[in-house]
Amino acid sequence: MTGSDRSGGNAFGAKFGRLVRSYREDIGLSARDLAIRVWNDEARKSSISRLENGRVGRPAAETVQKIALALDIPQEEIDGLRAPSADIGSVLSQHLGDLARSSRDQLEALAARFEIDRAYDRSSENLRQLLEAKADEYRAYRRKIDLLDERQDEIVAARAAANAAADRLDLDECEHQLLIADRLQTLLFVETKEARASYALLRGQVDKAFELFRSAADALRTVDSLETARRLKGYFVQLYDHGLLYGNDGLALSVDMARHALAAFPERGEEWAQFLMSKANALANLGDRTEGGTGTALLEEAVGDYQVVLTHFGRTGDRERSGVAQHNLGGALCLLADRADATASRIDLLEKAIGTFRVALEVRDQHASPREWAMTMQNLAVALRDLGAATEDEVGRRHLMEAVEICERSLAIRTKDSSPFEWAMTQENLAQVRFALANHRTTNDPSPHLAAAESHIDAALTVYSLETSPYYFDKATEFRRVMRTARIAP
């Protein structure tokens, strides 16, 4: 190895040394083992130690390649440690500010660089949105790399302070500074793993990111259990957000990470309860997207978690968070009702959901929390609509009429000017309730309800568009087609 450099952790060699240590420890190699694997010479273990401790600023290119080959370190990960050249960074710097004007070929080239799935099948607008998100991830990744340099400098400073204390025979201070250096070294190990996990997510490698996050948490566990739990919470958020955006295994892995985080909390206090609700939200989202018995089991677990959260907040008297938990519990019960095969089970779950939403509205006041109130009102209306459609007698009709009333009341908050998207969703809900009324067994003349339903769905389509909200636009357009078919049927 060549080019000894004492200038700190900003050199390529220091960054590469940290990467080497991380990969070496991942596979359980000692410095001696790695020296034998690279040079067939155990005496060269000191060269490995010097590199990993940031004492070699400019390692020889041949050495870098030999170590990378021995540890199976991808070349692109090594390139990412160097000053930006013709890699992802330069591509982003050239095109990031011009994504809105980028050609289709340029968007697809960037998407391929970031390994975005199904890039050729996606719309240009969707690709731009995903690339903006990838650019944010890349910037966050580079910030983490920079923080590693700062952490290395802190370690060097602590070691220097320990040496100075030893020189003056201040052994207590020497021990204190070594403890600081030891903790900083652990944090450097953890944060290196986190940076590698971020890189894995950047490339869509969620399984690898999950394992790196777990490894980081395991290293920190012996130092601080609460900090371990909080870091695991952060890893949960990264996996969850990645899964929501890119539609891969991130959601399922985020739930696993949440379980590890909850187990790491030293006590079941406020922070634990709040995070349990985050886990329940992830379970409900994942359960809704998962078919069959597996999805049902996830939803049932979410319901159980919400109930535990409600017990905790009821005991502490936290009405605001209780209202949030009641709202979310009602949503999970509605999702379970959608899956129920037996009408009796479906009705039972919907009745429980309606009762839960009504309790939430005792906390979510129209004047104190107007947006939250309107959201819960909408969910209550949907549950009443489904219950009304499942109940064939006059009671069912009353449920449907109450759903209409609730939607109309919420429009006082969800106006087209102030909240156009929420207003459109309310109009769509009104269309669905009116259509359910038109098809209800107690309705003699469906025409007025069908006309009202079409008017509401047309209103929603003044906001939904294929460019800005393709999912909602397609759903509303299909619903309008079904209604028009029903109106002309004999």
As a whole number of Å, the CA-based R_g of the chain is 29
Is residue 274, in this structure, part of any structural domain at all? no
Q: Do 128 and 214 share a structural domain? A: no
For residue 257 the two structure tokens come to: 């990470």
- Are 407 and 375 in contact by the 8 Å Cβ rule? The answer is no
Cα–Cα separations (whole angstroms), residue 241 to 133, 233, 247, 382, 474:
11, 12, 10, 27, 24
Is residue 149, in this structure, part of any structural domain at all? yes
In 10 A of CB 394, how many CB atoms?
Answer: 11
Answer with the one of 34, 64, 81 that is the final residue of a domain: 81
| Residue stretches of the chain with pLDDT short of 50 | 1-10, 84-87, 490
Question: What pLDDT shows up at residue 487?
Answer: 64
Question: What pLDDT shows up at residue 458?
Answer: 96
Q: Do 167 and 105 share a structural domain? A: yes
Question: What pLDDT shows up at residue 164?
Answer: 96
Q: How far out from the chain centre does Cα 212 lie?
A: 16
Give the C-alpha separation, 233 to 226, whole Å: 11
Q: Do 96 and 77 share a structural domain? A: no
Give the C-alpha separation, 157 to 188, whole Å: 14
Q: Do 472 and 384 share a structural domain? A: yes
Q: Do 11 and 67 share a structural domain? A: yes
Answer with the one of 298, 330, 363 that is the final residue of a domain: 363
Is residue 212, in this structure, part of any structural domain at all? yes
Q: How far out from the chain centre does Cα 285 lie?
A: 11
Is residue 211, in this structure, part of any structural domain at all? yes
Give the C-alpha separation, 169 to 415, whole Å: 74
Helix axes 370-390, 343-363, angle to 10 degrees: 160
CA proximity to 145, closest of 292, 325, 11: 11
CA proximity to 12, closest of 70, 85, 69, 108: 85
For residue 437 the two structure tokens come to: 């009324």
Q: Do 390 and 490 share a structural domain? A: yes
Q: Do 135 and 66 share a structural domain? A: no
For the chain, the domain total comes to 5
CATH number at residue 42: 1.10.260.40
Give the C-alpha separation, 22 to 154, whole Å: 19
Give the C-alpha separation, 398 to 394, whole Å: 6
Is residue 276, in this structure, part of any structural domain at all? no
Is residue 273, in this structure, part of any structural domain at all? no
Percent residues over pLDDT 90 in the chain: 63
In 10 A of CB 110, how many CB atoms?
Answer: 25
Q: Do 385 and 482 share a structural domain? A: yes
Answer with the one of 60, 81, 102 that is the final residue of a domain: 81
Residues paired with 56 in a beta bridge: 4
In 10 A of CB 167, how many CB atoms?
Answer: 9
Is residue 238, in this structure, part of any structural domain at all? yes
Give the C-alpha separation, 411 to 105, whole Å: 44
Q: Do 196 and 96 share a structural domain? A: yes
Specify burial of residue 370 (Cβ count, 10 A radius: 0-12, 13-18, 19+). Answer: middle
For residue 45 the two structure tokens come to: 């273990």
Is residue 369, in this structure, part of any structural domain at all? no
Domain that holds residue 69: 1-81
For residue 32, give the amino acid letter: R
Q: Do 312 and 406 share a structural domain? A: no
Q: Which residues contact 98 (CB under 8 A, 6 or more apart)?
A: none
pTM, whole model, 2 decimals? 0.74
Q: Which helix (H) or strand (E) element contains residue 55? A: none
